[in-house]
Structure 1
Amino acid sequence: MKNTGIAIVSLVGGMIIGSALTMLFTPQSGPELRQKIKDSIDDEIDKVKDKLGKVEREIEEARCKCDEK
């Protein structure tokens, strides 16, 4: 389970860094670029929160199943 968490964090981190680098190399004004980076990071944070919520629910379901036995 620990390795899965590390893999997910690494994947999300790589996506964020890749997105930021792509935006930095496209011609845009400073304010547009900063807003685009902020929006991209906010989207990734929302995705991570959704995944975390799903994992928490799955853990809680597994815990309940264990308690029933």
Structure 2
Amino acid sequence: MKKPKRGELSESQKKKNKEMASDRIFVEYLIRILKIFRVASERFRLKPSKYEQIIMTICGLVRFRIGALVMAL
């Protein structure tokens, strides 16, 4: 939530902003790990039918790397 001009945010709004920021950091961290594998950041040059299988394999490797048990889709 954005601070209004000449105003302040309430404590609950500040708390909500902090929660959203920590979620955003986690998601950006996962995207960075995916880009290390270069599938999500470059042009995919194999058959389009293989893309889902490969991206899901990479997501499994990322999940293994961060030690998560459940991956939210």
TM over 0.5: no
Higher relative CO (CA 8 A, sep ≥ 6), structure 1 or 2?
Answer: 1
Q: TM-score, normalised by structure 2?
A: 0.42
User: Greater share of helix residues, 1 or 2?
Assistant: 1
Q: TM-score, normalised by structure 1?
A: 0.44
